[in-house]
Amino acid sequence: MDNLIGLIEKNGLIFGFLCVGIIFLIGELLSKTIFRSKIPGSAIAIFLGLLLGYLGGLWSDGEKGIAGISLFAGIGLLGGSMFRDFTIVATALGANLELIRKAGWLGLISLLVGIVLFFIIGVLLAFAWGFRDAASLCTIGAGACTYIVGPITGAAVGASSEVIALSIAIGVVKTIAVTIFTPIAAKRIGLKSPESAMAFGGMMGTSSGVAAGLAATDPSLVPYGAVTATFYTGVGCLLCPSLFYLILNFVF
């Protein structure tokens, strides 16, 4: 047995492939039996992933979900930013460059609307929760954008480490919320064409959430959502600690 565990720890990524394959299989089976194929297997598998992330975090008392348990460290490598971005780029194989060019300005508008909307609501909620200083408000508003914009903004405007940690947590909740709600809401909000996926990616921004949510909705939309979502964090990091912070500083 020790032999096997040693072998798995040495070949973590390979074991990760096996684990994800099993999770996917369970997701498909649940989809077919309990949900009568109304919810796609991939959506259930992603949800199971989140559940394992929660349980793994409880078990290992760490920050990396199930990857915090050394036996499952390979899942963290497989789910890390390198493979995530590499496979997202590969989805461009099925995308139409002409469509992306045509919907470019729609993407740009939704990007700006999305960042402003998330930031303002984040700031208002922080205000309602009793925060009154510009640095904390700005950091929490930035965290509502993504879990990367939050800490970068917090460091730039000199927010306390508690507020920065909170902004990361808000960003992770956002990613999870987008993952879960996208397939549920897709039909009702008219998310079905490449153009709408580009606008959606720009508005929601969280690359992981948009990618996971669209994957569970319609995998052919993933490249269009990803191509705009990838600009969100960068533009957020540009606007939050500068223009938005100046405005907040002026108000408070």
Partner 1 sequence: MTIYGVALLAISFLLGQWMGSLLGDWLGIQANVGGVGFAMIFLMLGKEWLVQKKQMTSEMTGGIAFWSKMYIPVVIAMAASLNVKSAVSSGSLALVAGIIPVLASFLAFPWIMKKFNPKHHG
Residues numbered 71-130 forming contacts with partner 1, rule: CB under 8 A: 72, 75-76, 78-80, 83-95, 97, 100, 102-103, 105-106, 109-110, 113-114, 117-118, 121-122, 125-126, 129
User: Structure tokens of 66?
Assistant: 């199930």
Report the C-alpha gap between 170 and 191 in whole angstroms. 25
- Site membership for partner 1, residue 31 (CB under 8 A): no
Report the C-alpha gap between 216 and 239 in whole angstroms. 31
Residue 37 or 87: the one with the smaller Cβ distance to partner 1 is 87
Question: What is the enclosing helix (H) or strand (E) of 73?
Answer: helix 73-78
φ/ψ of residue 31, rounded to 5 = -60, -45
Q: Least CB distance from residue 248 to partner 1, whole Å?
A: 16
Stretch that binds partner 1, among 3-11, 28-36, 183-191, 243-251 (CB under 8 A): 183-191
Nearest to 239 by CA among 112, 88, 105: 112
Q: Least CB distance from residue 33 to partner 1, whole Å?
A: 19
Report the C-alpha gap between 237 and 156 in whole angstroms. 10
Nearest to 171 by CA among 159, 153, 189, 158: 153
- Site membership for partner 1, residue 39 (CB under 8 A): no
Q: Least CB distance from residue 251 to partner 1, whole Å?
A: 19
Q: Least CB distance from residue 11 to partner 1, whole Å?
A: 15
Angle at 66 between CA 64 and CA 72, to 5 degrees: 110
Amino acid letter for position 159:
A
Beta-carbon count within 10 A of 109 CB = 13
The footprint of partner 1 on residues 198-227 (CB under 8 A) is 199-200, 203-204, 207-208, 211-212, 215, 219, 222-223, 226-227
Report the C-alpha gap between 22 and 94 in whole angstroms. 27
Site string for partner 1, 128-167 (x = CB under 8 A): -x----------x--xx---xx--x------------xx-
Quick one: which of 134, 135, 138, 176 contacts partner 1 (CB under 8 A)? 176
- Site membership for partner 1, residue 177 (CB under 8 A): yes
User: Structure tokens of 124?
Assistant: 């208002």
The footprint of partner 1 on residues 233-252 (CB under 8 A) is 233-235, 237-238
Q: Least CB distance from residue 246 to partner 1, whole Å?
A: 15
- Residue tagged 């709408």 (tokens): 196
Residue 2 or 150: the one with the smaller Cβ distance to partner 1 is 150
Q: Least CB distance from residue 173 to partner 1, whole Å?
A: 3
